[in-house]
Structure 1
Amino acid sequence: MTELPRLTAAQAAARLGVKPESLYAYVSRGLLSRERDASGSSFDPLEVEAFALRRRRVAPRAVEPSGGGMPLMVLDTALAHIEDDELFFRERSAARLARESTFEEVVRWLWAVTEFRGPDDADLARARRTVATLGDAATPLDRLLAALTAFASTDPLRDDSSADAMTRAGARLLRGLPAALADAAGPGESIAATLWRALAGRPREGGARLVDAALVLVVDHDLAVSTLAARVAASARGSAYAIVTAALGAFDTPLHGHASRGAARMLRAVQAGEPPASAIASAVRDGGRGIPGFGQALYAGGDMRAVVLRELLATAPGGDEVVGVVDAVTAEVARHADARPNLDLALAALALWGDMDDDAGAVVFAIGRLAGWIAHAVDEYAQTPMRLRPRGRYVGPPAAG
């Protein structure tokens, strides 16, 4: 039988109706195979056709009128969407932005601003003194909240409800919060570089670049509970500081912002010599919520954010050791469950590579997502005030008499 002519990359992308970068994302995640020669990449037409037939989009479930169904509501959003297992910020690929742009460039584009100023030296010093009053038991997110309160208290325009004030305060926090955790911020230093110095346990070449990519990848991701909290506060016309505080309240939880902590402990145990199966079993037993760092319902073929961070870690100095640990855990999980690595495992791997605390992934996540909270707040300010005030339906016992 004559072999079918192979498809070029352009032809395969056209058949699937996706951009070329989405096509190559499928390849990197093992969802499609390709062959390469002097003329470029080619694809098996039957494999592409089979993939096209089984490809699906994860759509929101119907709104439940009562009971424990989810979601509580479905809101229109023009910020992030997932299409064919690829995350986009508006029309731009998050994977490509993470590889090619800095966090500051992405935020300026997302917020449509040119100026990006942090707090002055006096306000930063006051925030650092506030953080320093916390005891050793304080978590990194405790320190972020303390610094946030300090910055709010020194901003004379904190109650300004304009969109310009929202992004001005957001820039102040994005630059100020990492600096409040670090000893000092060098002149012209990037947000990622300051955060890397605040979190890393040892110097590593390329550390700031990896943190920068992670910050970009976590900017937004559908309507997570922290993002919904931010929008509810914005619907009530809270200030930027109130909105970020509300969002952090929902973020500072084991099922959301802290989810990478258990994954970091699991990876650290394997790195120290514990068999992957034993480390996974301990993590499941201690956490009680499944395998930490695995599973993401919004993707059919795996969390692309984890794929991008893994690829970047693999090319970093010394990254092969950490990636080896991640791959060993991933292979063991695959033998027992249909679950793929998610963002939390990637953030845990970054923390392991940088010799950071187990909670470091939550800090990177919070700083990056702050940019998304502010973008959502600006969008919500353009909507009718208090539109996100739902009505309750009483389902308790009937009134006596």
Structure 2
Amino acid sequence: MSGEQGGSRRLSTKEAAERLGVKAETVYAYVSRGLLSSQRETNGRGSTFDVKEVEALARRNTRSAAASSASGELAVRTRITLIEPDGYYFRGVDATELAGHYTYEPVAEWLWTGVLREEVRFTAPEEIVGAARRAVQALPEHSGPMDRLRVATIAAAAADPLRFDLDEQAVLGTARALVPTLVDALPTVGHWSRDEHTIAGRLWPRLTRRAPDGPWMTALDKALVLLIDHDLAASTLAVRVAASARAHPYAAVSAGLGVLEGPLHGAASGLAHRMLTEVLDRGSAAAVVADHLRAGRRVPGLGHRLYPREDPRAQALFAALAEVPEARAALDAAHDVVATTARHTELYANVDLALAVLTVAGKMPPEAGETVFAVARTAGWIAHALEEYGERPLRMRPSGQYTGARPPQPLPTPQR
């Protein structure tokens, strides 16, 4: 015990951290969030904590873990994103409002540090960008965007000898360099850029040959902000598991990229892109929707299990695209898909359909939405990794429910 102040026993920061099963930095985070109160030691060299407060917080954390175990689902404490039936919030702030007022870099920086700086710009050392570019250029021509982004991440990690430093400031430095590295490592297909100092401006010529203007860049930047995070999606959970094992940030992001490639996650916008292209070619959604239903397939871009009505990300991105004259036909086609499907079942647009409008109208390939999704979500993955580094290591170790043959079993016989 650290001693007594005012007649009550006090714990040192180290003792409080050990009782809570967290790092000392997390104890101070609890203080900043109002979950604990602290007092300076009499010698002024550190802080002390009330035993009863620490014990109460430890019990509350244990109850949360027990409730998670009883429900059969993994629950993870997070202060990053809250999802409600009618909206989602970054650190308690409406994410769609953030997307309407700020661009990608300031929101990412704020999500990582809690400090909003509108003028922030992300840059990367040339040796790291160069390593990522060379690795991507060595891939076969048919490689997809996720192949390129995964390889770029691995190459950037190999070029960074300080990648194992998990100090918060070191991880922040990695984050600010990794996002632009991923963008700059992608091959360019056009020569247009409205602002090469922003992530949206640098990403645009890697998505399309179409020349951008103000409304287009606003729509792309808004898409990046809207997609930064969405609580514990499958890819984000993979990132947190990696961070729990104290994998460095590049490895944690690699884990997220691997999961994102699944057709039920980041690749879903490509399916919506192809469907929307077919609707425009055929002039109506009715036949296209009928073909999907007849084949027993879900109509891409519709429905989200977390939102009973329209995905708020889709609403916000549709609103931005409504300001782009060239997007009118694709936007009408998307609304036609929703209206046609609504005759049979009550489903609403999700963000994949809105991304498809962006990529179809912008004359981008079907995989472009996946690229936008991955670049945007990298910032959210880093935010979750930072949060997980402050928790007890290896806490994400669920037990399997073994359903195989009970031991003892005889040794297997070789096949001849």
Fold shared, TM-score > 0.5 on shorter chain: yes
Q: Is the 8 A contact 2:105 2:122 kept in 1?
A: no
Match of 2:230 among 216, 221, 226: 221
* 1:1-400 aligned within 5 A: 72-112=73-113, 117-183=122-188, 189-205=197-213, 206-283=215-292, 290-400=298-408
The separation in 1 between residues aligned to 2:178 and 2:230, in whole angstroms, is 20
What is the deviation of 1:116?
Answer: 5.2
Name stretches of at least 5 consecutive residues in structure 2 with no aligned partner.
Answer: 1-66, 410-416
The separation in 2 between residues aligned to 1:160 and 1:143, in whole angstroms, is 25
Deviates more, 1:144-153 or 1:231-240: 144-153
CA displacement 1:75-124 (0-9 Å, x = unmatched): 22211112351111012111111111010110111111667542223332
CA displacement 1:2-30 (0-9 Å, x = unmatched): xxxxxxxxxxxxxxxxxxxxxxxxxxxxx
The separation in 1 between residues aligned to 2:337 and 2:85, in whole angstroms, is 26
TM-score, L = length of structure 2: 0.76
The separation in 1 between residues aligned to 2:399 and 2:127, in whole angstroms, is 45
What is the deviation of 1:186?
Answer: 8.8
What is the deviation of 1:136?
Answer: 2.3
Deviates more, 1:116-125 or 1:341-350: 116-125
Name stretches of at least 5 consecutive residues in structure 1 with no aligned partner.
Answer: 1-61
Q: Is the 8 A contact 1:257 1:365 kept in 2?
A: yes
Deviates more, 1:114-123 or 1:74-83: 114-123
Percent identity of paired positions between Structure 1 and Structure 2: 41
Aligned partner letter, 1:259: A
Q: Is the 8 A contact 2:194 2:212 kept in 1?
A: no
What is the deviation of 1:310?
Answer: 0.6
The separation in 2 between residues aligned to 1:237 and 1:284, in whole angstroms, is 45
Q: Is the 8 A contact 2:321 2:327 kept in 1?
A: yes
Q: Is the 8 A contact 1:284 1:292 kept in 2?
A: no
What is the deviation of 1:285?
Answer: 6.5
What is the deviation of 1:333?
Answer: 1.0
Question: Equivalent residue of 1:279, what SS?
Answer: helix
Aligned partner letter, 2:279: V
Q: Is the 8 A contact 2:268 2:352 kept in 1?
A: yes
Q: Is the 8 A contact 1:116 1:168 kept in 2?
A: no
Q: Is the 8 A contact 2:284 2:336 kept in 1?
A: no
The separation in 2 between residues aligned to 1:279 and 1:327, in whole angstroms, is 13
Aligned partner letter, 2:92: E
Q: Which residue of 1 aligns with 2:63?
A: none
Aligned partner letter, 2:356: A
The separation in 2 between residues aligned to 1:337 and 1:141, in whole angstroms, is 33
Q: Which residue of 1 aligns with 2:27?
A: none
Alignment length (residue pairs): 335
Q: Is the 8 A contact 1:81 1:89 kept in 2?
A: yes
The separation in 2 between residues aligned to 1:163 and 1:281, in whole angstroms, is 52
The separation in 2 between residues aligned to 1:304 and 1:238, in whole angstroms, is 33
Rg comparison, structure with higher value: 2
What is the deviation of 1:271?
Answer: 1.2
Q: Is the 8 A contact 2:131 2:155 kept in 1?
A: yes
The separation in 1 between residues aligned to 2:217 and 2:132, in whole angstroms, is 23
Q: Is the 8 A contact 2:269 2:369 kept in 1?
A: yes
Question: Equivalent residue of 1:357, what SS?
Answer: coil
The separation in 2 between residues aligned to 1:400 and 1:107, in whole angstroms, is 54
Task: Calculate the aligned-residue CA RMSD, in Å.
Answer: 2.2
The separation in 2 between residues aligned to 1:104 and 1:98, in whole angstroms, is 11
Rate the CA distance shift 1:388–1:259 in 2: closer, same or farther, 3 A: same
Question: Equivalent residue of 1:82, what SS?
Answer: strand
Rate the CA distance shift 1:285–1:264 in 2: closer, same or farther, 3 A: farther
Aligned partner letter, 1:192: A
Structure 1 outlier segments of 4+, above 3 Å: 62-65, 113-117, 182-188, 281-286
The separation in 2 between residues aligned to 1:289 and 1:272, in whole angstroms, is 20
The separation in 1 between residues aligned to 2:97 and 2:363, in whole angstroms, is 27
Rate the CA distance shift 1:389–1:258 in 2: closer, same or farther, 3 A: same
The separation in 2 between residues aligned to 1:247 and 1:118, in whole angstroms, is 22
Question: Equivalent residue of 2:82, what SS?
Answer: strand
The separation in 2 between residues aligned to 1:332 and 1:388, in whole angstroms, is 43
The separation in 1 between residues aligned to 2:294 and 2:135, in whole angstroms, is 37
Deviates more, 1:115-124 or 1:329-338: 115-124
Q: Is the 8 A contact 2:121 2:198 kept in 1?
A: no
Question: Equivalent residue of 1:193, what SS?
Answer: helix
What is the deviation of 1:273?
Answer: 2.3
